[in-house]
Amino acid sequence: MGKYTISEVAEKMGVSAHTLRYYDKEGLLPFVEKVNGRRVFKDEDFAWLRVLNCLKKTGMPLKEIRRYQELCAKGDDTLEERLQIMLNQKAAIEEKIELLKLNMKELDYKIWYYQKAIEAGTEKIHSEHMCNPTLEPDEIPDS
């Protein structure tokens, strides 16, 4: 059975040791042993750490993560509620992905715009495509 320092776990998770200390202070790492005042993580801790890291990286507030953790501790009676939390978080991520796709489309247009202007030596070649009176991304013209 492996044992890991807070620095080793932080590196594996891609977060700072300070962040893990904060999670511990917030009660999100109740399983972590303290030996001589130092946090010691075990192999089996990584299952929760993976979920915690995922939820945090997807933007779930710590309050909601704590609620999820508390439900997990209550056992099978909370399975449906935990599923709903995951479904809600997935829906929030899907919404963010769609927004990012929309923003990527605008960036693609601007990249095309500048590449064509550089080739022509002027932005004036785009005068017919200027002034889209909506907030929708501009479309790259065919050909």
What H or E segment, with its residue span, contains residue 74?
helix 62-74
What global pTM score does this model have?
0.77
In this prediction, residue 138 carries a pLDDT of 77
Distance CA 33, CA 30 (A): 8
Per-residue pLDDT of the chain (143 residues; tens, 9 = 90+): 799 999 999 999 999 999 999 999 999 998 899 999 899 999 999 999 999 999 999 999 999 999 999 999 999 999 999 999 999 999 999 999 999 999 999 999 999 999 999 999 999 888 776 666 666 777 777 76
CATH code for the structural domain at 3-60: 1.10.1660.10
For the chain, the structural domain boundaries read 3-60, 75-143
Distance CA 12, CA 29 (A): 16
In this prediction, residue 63 carries a pLDDT of 95
Closest to 39 (Cα-Cα) out of 16, 6, 10, 9: 6
Distance CA 99, CA 84 (A): 23
> Nearest 10 degrees: CA dihedral of 72, 77, 83, 85?
-60
In this prediction, residue 136 carries a pLDDT of 75
CB atoms within 10 A of CB 61: 10
